[in-house]
Amino acid sequence: MPEKQTDFIFTNIGEELGFVGSVFITVMYGLLLLRASQVITTADEDQLGKLIATGIVTMLTFHVFVNIGMNVGIMPVAGVPLPLISYGGTNLIMVLTCIGLLLSISRHRHQLLF
C-alpha cells in the first residue's frame, strides 16, 4: 500500500481489525448517511436547508463510496479521503463543518421569518 495513513486507511483498518472492524466502519457510515438523509426529509418548509443537506449527503456518500471502492480495488485510485478517519486536517474540518450544518438544519426545520 502506498500511503497507509492517508488514502488507504480503510485497508489498514481491515488489516488490523479484520472483517468485523471493516463491517463496523461501513455500518457506522451507513448510520451517519441514514441520519443525514432523515434531515433532508424532515426539513419540509426550508428549501435552502434541503438543498444544502442534499449536497452534504451526496458529498459524504461519494467520498465513502470512492474511498472504500478504491481500497477494495473496484475503483481507480483517486486520492479521495475517507471522512472522519483519513489523515488530513482540512478534510476533517470540512466534514465536521458539514455535520454542524446538518445539525443546524435539523434543529431549524421550519423556515425562519425575519
- Hey, which of 40-44, 49-53, 74-78 has the most confident mean pLDDT? 49-53
Is 112 domain-assigned? no
Is 44 domain-assigned? yes
Is 4 domain-assigned? no
Over residues 72-101, mean pLDDT: 89
What is d(CA 53, CA 20) in angstroms, rounded to the nearest whole number? Answer: 30
| Geometric angle at alpha carbon 96, from 92 and 97, rounded to 5° | 115
Residue 88, pLDDT > 80, answer no
Is 47 domain-assigned? yes
Is 3 domain-assigned? no
Residues 23-42: tens digit of each pLDDT: 999 999 999 999 999 999 98
Over residues 93-109, mean pLDDT: 92
Whole domain around residue 20: which residue ranges?
9-107
- Tally of domains within the chain: 1
Is 49 domain-assigned? yes
Full-model pTM: 0.86
